[in-house]
A and B are shown apart, each in its own frame.
Chain A
Amino acid sequence: MDRNQLKKWFKSPAKMGHKYSLHVIYFCTGCGIIEIPPSITTRWDAERFGIIPVATPRQANLFLITGYVSVKTLKPIIRTYEQMPDPKFTVGFGSCPINGGMYWDSYNTIKHLDKYIPIDGWIAGCMPRPEAIFIAVTHLWTLIDKEMADGYKKYRENYKYYRANQEQLYGKLEWPPLFAGKDKK
């Protein structure tokens, strides 16, 4: 952890700010949410790394999707993701958002979340323990350092394809495109 190295703060304040002030919005879709209370309270105390839960997507910069994603909950997920201000990072928690997990042949669970919104990192396991969240956070720090956590840029560049995937699932979406007419090339 390089939080106390003043030289880095003067060199790239934005990057360091994002690293050590992760305001998280938890999307409590499935069973994953039971691992969150111990990780933010006394036992594991996420606040010592500057990680606190916030109430609205506008204030957040980390989006944690904990658990399986059904067709109906994907809509709020997309809308929440689009409401967060850039730069923003997403982490899929548990094996269900990765490839469906135990719901791999369910009639109502979308299997791969990264087909609809960009995901910067995954935490595998069913369930991952709270320690896994902290390991994920340290990995995310490395990614932010190397500027590899660029899901939000990818979403902006490839918005056409993401939107096409979303529309293939739903038929027609009720909200207008986020980046109108801003295609790659």
Chain B
Amino acid sequence: MSISNGVNIWEIILSPLIALIIGIFFLGLARKIIARIHWRYGPPITQPVIDIIRMFSQKGISHGFIFDIGIILSLTGSFIVILFLPLGKMCPLSSGGLLAILYLMLLAPLGIALSSGEAANPNSSIGISRKFLLALGYEVPLLLILLAVMTHYNTISLIEIVRIQSTTGWSFGSLPLLLSGIAYFLILPAILGIRPFEVVGAAQEISSGPNAEFGGKFLAFSTIQHALHEFIGISLFVNLFLGGWGLFGILEPITNTVWSVIFGIIIFFIKMLIVFIVELFINAVFPRFRIEQAVRYLWKWPTLFAFIGLIVVVVVK
């Protein structure tokens, strides 16, 4: 079944669903692994699902119209970004490529900001201001990295970038893009909002920040949005630098079949899992930056790497 210009309706339904499952699985996995690092038994891996069921059954307290709309806006924003991201070989919306993703990624924090601003909790306001400062911190290197990648592959289409990687090898392994890859890996904790960049939702400092006034179904939406956000951050890294669905030409014999799509998703998931677990270890052992330290760090090393990477790419070309 397909609509006019090659948009597959199954992909539009399946892609966000798989992203949601992977995101929530990552939340549960994070709690379990961190518990094991603490020498605890830890919650069951389905704990986020239980939490979300519990939150939906609790009565949410609304603070006004904008409060309701903001969280929906942020959730919608995250779902739309996922439609633009290749998930294995599935990519429901491909026009616009990286520029569209970059533009739409701003919707999610904006929605949360609207919502928390309406709640008028001082902790939420501090959290929101920190969120935007942190975004300002990692957007600069992120733009430089994307510019380097786009210059190197001479295209803005993410699908095209992944396809070229499947023939020429991963960009993380290619010499010109190595520095950009390292820079992206360094800012990935900031994008995911985990330690050492857990300044936004710091429960001990500012009562979980933007989430401070969310209860009931609003908190459930916020948790789902968080799961999707984690998915977006990691899958962008996997698509840009780890070759997306490509794995040493393993899918060559079964190209253009349903199996290639399914195995593409599985390979993609395994790559994401490895990146996520490495990030989790960083999260488990590091303390938290203060916001000005975080921004100073982000504007120093990752930006430096990204800038040199861009110059290298231009010179090599």
A and B touch in the complex (CB under 8 A): yes
Q: Which of B44, B47, B54, B203 contacts A54 (CB 8 A)?
A: B203
B215 close to A17 (CB less than 8 A): no
User: Which B residues are in CB contact (< 8 Å) with A162?
Assistant: none
CA distance A58 to B38 in the complex (A): 28
A13 contacts the other chain (CB 8 A) = yes
Write the chain B residue with the least CB distance to A51. Answer: B43
Task: Decide: A21 near B219, CB < 8 A? Known: A47-B43, A50-B43.
Answer: no
Chain A interface residue count, Cβ-Cβ cutoff 8 angstroms: 26
A55 contacts the other chain (CB 8 A) = yes
User: Which B residues are in CB contact (< 8 Å) with A14?
Assistant: 53-54, 57
B35 close to A45 (CB less than 8 A): yes
Write the chain A residue with the least CB distance to B123. Answer: A56
A13 close to B53 (CB less than 8 A): yes
B44 close to A3 (CB less than 8 A): yes
B214 close to A21 (CB less than 8 A): no
B212 close to A85 (CB less than 8 A): no
Q: B54 to chain A: closest CB distance in Å?
A: 3
Task: Decide: A61 near B212, CB < 8 A? Known: A48-B43, A85-B60, A85-B61.
Answer: no
Chain B contact residues (Cβ within 8 angstroms of A): what range? 20 to 34
Q: A70 to chain B: closest CB distance in Å?
A: 23
From A17, A41, A45, A59, residue with most partner B Cβ within 10 Å: A59
Chain B, residues 23-43, CB within 8 Å of chain A (1/0): the string is 000000001000100111111
A87 contacts the other chain (CB 8 A) = yes
A1-57 contacts to B (CB < 8 Å) = 3, 13-14, 16-18, 20-21, 23, 41-42, 45, 47-50, 54-56
- A-B contacts, 13 of them at CB < 8 A, read A13-B57, A21-B47, A21-B54, A42-B39, A47-B35, A47-B40, A48-B42, A50-B44, A54-B203, A56-B207, A56-B211, A59-B211, A61-B58
| B residues apposed to A, CB below 8 Å | 31, 35, 38-44, 47, 50-51, 53-54, 56-61, 123, 203-204, 207-208, 211-216, 219
Seed contacts A13-B53, A16-B53, A50-B43; 19 additional CB < 8 Å A-B pairs:
A13-B57, A14-B57, A17-B56, A18-B54, A20-B50, A21-B47, A21-B54, A23-B51, A42-B38, A47-B35, A47-B42, A48-B44, A55-B204, A55-B212, A58-B214, A59-B211, A84-B215, A85-B61, A86-B59
| A residues apposed to B, CB below 8 Å | 3, 13-14, 16-18, 20-21, 23, 41-42, 45, 47-50, 54-56, 58-59, 61, 84-87
